[in-house]
């Protein structure tokens, strides 16, 4: 059984930053994540997509943010159980918890922190009869590595930010980009809509609206799609393609965590945000996009804030009666479990007699 001070379920940005905040308090951490690598959505869904609202970074790729977080927490030597899903939560007589994964790995800690983002995700698939036949052979529901589409003919379906942003991005990668949407209006950011329209005017994007991809053709590999128009007078459009990417979003699900007896509201875990982000189960906290409270903002920076506050209260729970005085890192520095030490150089002031 793996024992630690704080067990973190979810290795996305919020979960990773929790390692840092816990480390400052000399708390050992271990993370569980169903994905095979740390980073959550940032690694799995949009590693090459820029993020613009991380403090001090006017622009940073999601994958780079994860890399930076991994470097930041390295001195605190967190443990990882990756590629396994947290299944059950049991409370022991001593007040600690045991979390068991779907592969039977057991973890024991006095505090459990759920930082699972929006939970596990399933893509919203368009109702095309044979679409599953081309999954991994031309059909993908998310873009992980844009280079896969280098010099390829790509069709993207969707009318939101993801469809617009990737259609724009791939104009510099793919040989041909077609964006299909069932309406004339898009639900994306205005600048993205305007940029896509500009690229359509100069022929960089083939824009087809009031239409949907209804058929896929090919043998072992996707070879063509058939686009049907809302206007019945228009004939179906047959396009030879290499890749079809329907971007209709992902359906979040809490999964087994939803059966732990937590107070859940609209697929999110209710917490006490006036104090410590604790759930209705004492010793179990929820931070990041997975939690909900009045005024909640589902932003990475909000998760970072919640992690910092939560760790202060969790420390008191793990060390009852032990006094802790918070020190700013600019004063106390950062001392890792690996023996490393980061601190500001001390200025030597010499008095003059």
* pTM of the predicted protein model: 0.70
Which contiguous run of DSSP H or E holds residue 206? strand 206-209
Q: How far apart are CA 139 and CA 118, in angstroms?
A: 24
75 has pLDDT over 70: yes
Q: What is the mean pLDDT of the chain?
A: 91
Write down the pLDDT at residue 238: 96
CB atoms within 10 A of CB 216: 22
State whether residue 201 is helix, strand or coil. Answer: helix
What tokens does 130 get? Answer: 């044979």
Q: Which percentage of the chain shows pLDDT scores above 90?
A: 71
252 has pLDDT over 70: no
Write down the pLDDT at residue 34: 86
- The position carrying tokens 């732990």 is 260
Task: Report the pLDDT averaged over residues 184-190.
Answer: 86
Looking at per-residue pLDDT, the higher value among 267 and 25 belongs to 25
User: 346 falls in which pLDDT band (50, 70, 90)?
Assistant: low
**Poorest-pLDDT segment among 32-36, 155-159, 222-226:** 32-36
Angle at 318 between CA 316 and CA 321, to 5 degrees: 50
CA neighbor of 168 nearest in space, from 52, 247, 63 = 247
Tens of pLDDT, residues 131-165: 999 998 999 988 878 999 999 999 999 998 889 98
Write down the pLDDT at residue 191: 86
What 144-148 contacts at long range (C-beta under 8 Å, 24+ apart), as own/partner pairs, is: 144/44, 144/45, 144/47, 145/47, 145/48, 146/48, 146/170, 146/173, 147/173, 148/243
Write down the pLDDT at residue 347: 64
Tens of pLDDT, residues 270-308: 999 888 999 999 999 999 999 999 999 999 999 999 999
Write down the pLDDT at residue 351: 60
Longest C-alpha distance within the chain, in Å? Answer: 97
User: 120 falls in which pLDDT band (50, 70, 90)?
Assistant: low
Q: How far apart are CA 178 and CA 157, in angstroms?
A: 8
Q: How far apart are CA 282 and CA 66, in angstroms?
A: 30
CB atoms within 10 A of CB 116: 31
Write down the pLDDT at residue 344: 72
Q: Which percentage of the chain shows pLDDT scores above 70?
A: 95
Q: How far apart are CA 336 and CA 28, in angstroms?
A: 11
State whether residue 285 is helix, strand or coil. Answer: strand
Write down the pLDDT at residue 342: 84
What percent helix, strand, coil does the chain show, rounded to 5?
25, 30, 45
């Amino acid at each position: 059984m793996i024992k630690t001070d704080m067990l973190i379920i979810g290795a996305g940005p919020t979960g990773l930053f929790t390692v840092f905040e816990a480390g400052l308090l000399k708390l050992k951490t271990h993370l569980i994540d169903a994905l095979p690598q740390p980073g959550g959505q940032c690694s799995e869904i949009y590693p090459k997509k820029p993020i613009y609202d991380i403090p001090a970074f006017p622009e940073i790729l999601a994958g780079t943010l994860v890399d930076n977080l991994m470097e930041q927490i390295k001195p605190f030597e967190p443990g990882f159980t990756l590629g396994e899903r947290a299944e059950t939560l049991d409370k022991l007589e001593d007040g600690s918890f045991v979390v068991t994964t779907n592969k039977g790995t057991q973890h024991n800690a006095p505090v459990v922190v759920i930082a699972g983002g929006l939970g596990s995700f399933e893509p919203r698939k368009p109702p095309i009869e044979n679409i599953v036949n081309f999954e991994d052979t031309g059909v993908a529901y998310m873009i992980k590595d844009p280079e896969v589409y280098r010099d390829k003919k790509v069709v993207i379906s969707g009318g939101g930010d993801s469809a617009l942003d990737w259609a724009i991005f791939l104009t510099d990668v793919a040989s041909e980009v077609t964006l299909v949407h069932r309406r004339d209006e898009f639900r994306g950011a205005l600048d993205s809509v305007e940029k896509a329209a500009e690229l359509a005017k100069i022929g960089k994007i083939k824009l087809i609206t009031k239409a949907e991809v209804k058929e896929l053709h090919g043998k072992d590999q996707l070879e063509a799609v058939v686009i049907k128009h809302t206007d019945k007078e228009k004939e179906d459009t047959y396009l030879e393609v290499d890749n079809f990417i329907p971007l209709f979003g992902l359906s979040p699900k809490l999964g087994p965590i939803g059966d732990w007896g937590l107070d859940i509201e609209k697929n999110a875990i209710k917490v006490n945000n006036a104090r410590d982000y604790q759930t209705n189960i004492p010793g179990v906290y929820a931070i990041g996009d997975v939690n909900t409270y009045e005024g909640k903002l589902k932003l990475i920076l909000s998760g970072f804030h919640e992690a910092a506050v939560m760790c202060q209260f969790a420390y008191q729970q793990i060390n009852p009666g032990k006094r802790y005085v918070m020190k700013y890192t600019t004063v106390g520095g950062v001392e890792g479990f690996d023996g490393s030490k980061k601190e500001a150089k001390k200025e030597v002031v010499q008095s003059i007699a």
